[in-house]
Amino acid sequence: MVLWVFGYGSLIWKAGFRYDERRVGFIKGFRRVFYQGSTDHRGTPDFPGRTVTLEPLRGAICWGVAYKVSGEEDQRIALEHLEIREKQYDMKVYLELYTDLASSTPAINHVMVFSGQEGQPELFGTSITG
């Protein structure tokens, strides 16, 4: 079995795990927003920083990169790394990745995406105090 992981923030340029292939593409129905709070690598508990997350939005697309991780050991290491790195996100979803704006056929099915869910304490939205 192969693992595909979609990055739409810093994962684009810094995966932090071994991968076999890197493919530029987009997901549908979401936009990238700086609504996610971070108290570890972008701030402190008293002054959280902001990182990107996804917001559902009909008709929107979000560009990023998908990483293909094939080996069982590489997948285990990648998932352990991502569970720590992406810990502020409370949701993992599996979506379709597209590479061609003119095509309705996805290039890759079942791409893992980390995101924050509405109502999560670390999801600040447009608040300037969060």
Q: Give catalytic status of residue 73 as yes or no.
A: no
Lookup result for tokens 């979803």: 93
Lookup result for tokens 């409370």: 90
CA distance 32 to 66: 15
CA distance 22 to 20: 7
In 3-state terms the chain splits into helix, strand, coil percentages (rounded to 5) of 15, 45, 40
CA distance 105 to 116: 27
Q: Active site residue: 83, 86, 96, 118, which one?
A: 86
Write out the catalytic residue numbers.
86
